[in-house]
Structure 1
């Protein structure tokens, strides 16, 4: 059996994780576009998926997303330009800046959470509630193991 055929029939964890991520992103961002957020791209998830409603430091977003601080800075610049976030002084340390969602950013975050919850409910119905809960439990264990948690 050729390697490519074997990978299709018995995909490894990397292939499965990639297919899951890219399929999820495709569906999520298509739906977000339909509900008023057509200008946000999957790369912006490195900021928006981890952003606290009260604001987050860029260094925290970098650590949580696994991206370099410079990448986060570029993404924040794009999101500022698009009107999703703003920078403001951190009240706990005036030298630091917080990345804070705007009303548009909060709307995006709420709609994204709702869409993802709906997608997860669809998966649970398709494979069974117990099987999906177990899948998420095990997937979280594997993900945590690879992220050093």
Structure 2
């Protein structure tokens, strides 16, 4: 590769994914701050993006997010302190705990879903509904393959 070629070539999948994630997070968390959730940070997405309304075990959050269990534990501690989640006994296994969204957490999840739906609608309008649907299908396949979840 000649000097300067890296600057001229098309961005690779990692660069495009990083740009997309960072800009999505910036827009999402700015909107959430305007809607009454100013203390959340993008790092909290490792829990919130994968949290089920009825609760999710920390080990499952770690698996879904690809983060270490210790990282998820620290994030859950932060979110509990902020009032977004609580730890409850898992009815299926009393030794285990579920991370359950509080009323404030449920409000946040609903607002987050609304903001993300608006972002996706905007992209679908820009690219065209059919092309955006193909993009999402292919991107899901690539993401699953990259994370070792492809069938």
Q: What does residue 13 of structure 1 align with? A: 13
Deviation of 1:4 (Å):
4.2
Q: What does residue 45 of structure 1 align with? A: 45
Q: What does residue 80 of structure 1 align with? A: 80
The runs of 4+ residues in structure 1 deviating greater than 2 Å are none
Q: Distance in 1 between matches of 2:128 and 2:11?
A: 22
Q: What does residue 65 of structure 1 align with? A: 65
CA deviation profile, 1:73-106 (whole Å, cap 9, x unmatched): 0000000000000001111111111100000000
Counterparts in 2 of 1:1-149, with a 5 A limit?
2-6=4-8, 9-149=9-149
Aligned residue-pair number: 147
Q: Distance in 2 between matches of 1:91 and 1:137?
A: 36
Q: Distance in 1 between matches of 2:41 and 2:5?
A: 33
Q: Distance in 2 between matches of 1:46 and 1:55?
A: 15
Q: Which runs of 5+ in 2 are unaligned?
A: none
Q: Could you state the TM-score of these two structures normalised by the residue count of structure 2?
A: 0.95
CA RMSD of aligned residues (A): 0.9
Q: Distance in 1 between matches of 2:30 and 2:100?
A: 24
Q: Which runs of 5+ in 1 are unaligned?
A: none
